[in-house]
Amino acid sequence: MSFLDHIRRCNNADLTHFEPWFVGEHRAGFVHRDFAADAVQASGLFGRRDGAWHLDPRLDTPVKRTAEVRRFLLGLRDHGYFAGLWREENYAVAPQNGAPLLMTMERSAVPWFGVRAGGPHMTGYVRRADGLHIWVPRRSYEKPTFPGQLDNTVAGGQPAELGLHENLVKECGEEASIPPELARQAKAVSVVAYWNQSGQQLKPDVMVCFDLELPQDFIPRANDGEVHSFELWPVGRVFETVRDSNEFKYNCNLVLIDFFVRHGLLSADDPDFVPIVAGLRMMYAPRTVSG
């Protein structure tokens, strides 16, 4: 196990299995060929030409697209898609971060359509006389995804109606009982991007990394049931756990590796330094399997 192994694991997508789909002239995502054959082709909402799928041009506003696609997705849910993960939480569908909204889509459906998603991931750390320490949460054992694994101090998906910093402040209160006046001190410091494939699902995601230096006497507390517990670890223990194991949720490793780089814990003389730093920001579509 190594830092590069975590980067490769997150960037395992093979786009030869996928075809792009468009809203007008804008590429909105990718659909797996098998999913397209089973579900998209018969939907009546998409036409196929030139090796790509195109949303019906009669849906010419974000409101119309959102409504029609939601009806389609509810039908898929009734036929067993989304594995009981339906959230009633809308994500933005846009050609790139910050671009005008094309529509919104139910969170659990987003990876089936290869839509770029993500959200804020915050590392809460403490400076002590013996060095940096990081608050490490363990995910609830009842969570439907990655139960019991270690996570970033605070993290969450990005709903369409909130700004990133606003969302982070909300998640800080919900997940760690961090009050708003303290949470607002978190600083956006970096981004981590990857292309992860799981079967017919694709996550071309961008996570915005935040750092928050917490007071020595502050103790995060689980609040909404998503976190089992918090522990304050010396940064060296976090470093070794990420480097040597799969104890952290797969994409959370990348956020922590980025923290190690920015805080000078990874030597520039390490032979993997350049591929590690470059591998944390895979913004553009891979041509073949990464690794």
- One digit per residue, pLDDT tens: the chain, 291 residues? 899 999 999 999 999 999 999 999 999 999 999 999 999 999 999 999 999 999 999 999 999 999 999 999 999 999 999 988 999 999 999 987 667 899 999 999 999 999 999 999 999 999 999 999 999 999 999 998 999 999 999 999 999 999 999 999 999 999 999 999 999 999 999 999 999 999 999 999 999 999 999 999 999 999 888 899 999 999 999 999 999 999 999 999 999 999 999 999 999 999 999 999 999 999 887 764 443
Same domain, 86 and 155: no
Q: Is residue 38 part of a domain?
A: yes
Residue 97 covered by a domain:
yes
Specify the number of domains making up the chain.
2
**Domain match, 29 and 91 both:** yes
Closest CA to 182 of 128, 119, 232, 124: 124
Q: Is residue 290 part of a domain?
A: no
In this structure, are 7 and 130 located in the same domain? yes
* Cβ neighbours for 77, distance < 8 A, ≥ 6 positions apart: 86
Residue 231 lies in a domain: yes
Residues 155 and 209 in one domain: yes
pLDDT of residue 96: 75
- 106: in domain: yes
Last residue of a domain, one of 88, 113, 138: 113
* 195 in the same domain as 78: no
User: Does 103 share its domain with 127?
Assistant: no
Q: Half-sphere exposure of 153 toward its Cβ, with a 13 Å CA cutoff? A: 31
Residues 173 and 260 in one domain: yes
CATH of the domain at 51: 3.30.750.160
**CATH number of the domain bearing residue 272:** 3.90.79.10
Same domain, 84 and 212: no
Question: 130 with 231, same domain?
Answer: yes
CA 116 to chain centre: 9
Tokens of 181: 């006046």
The pTM of the whole model exceeds 0.85:
yes
291 is a domain residue: no
The reported pLDDT for the residue numbered 287 is: 60
* Rg value, the chain, Cα: 20
Is residue 286 domain-resident?
no
Structure tokens at 29: 């995502």
Is residue 108 located within the same domain as residue 122?
Answer: no
Place of tokens 């304050």: 232
Residue 289 lies in a domain: no
Q: In this structure, are 25 and 72 located in the same domain? A: yes
248 and 267 both lie in a single domain: yes
Structural domain span for residue 19: 15-113
Q: How many CA atoms lie within 13 A of 137 on its CB side?
A: 28
Final residue in a domain of this structure, among 64, 90, 113? 113
Whether 205 contacts 251, CB under 8 Å: yes
Query: Last residue of some domain: 63, 80, 113?
Result: 113
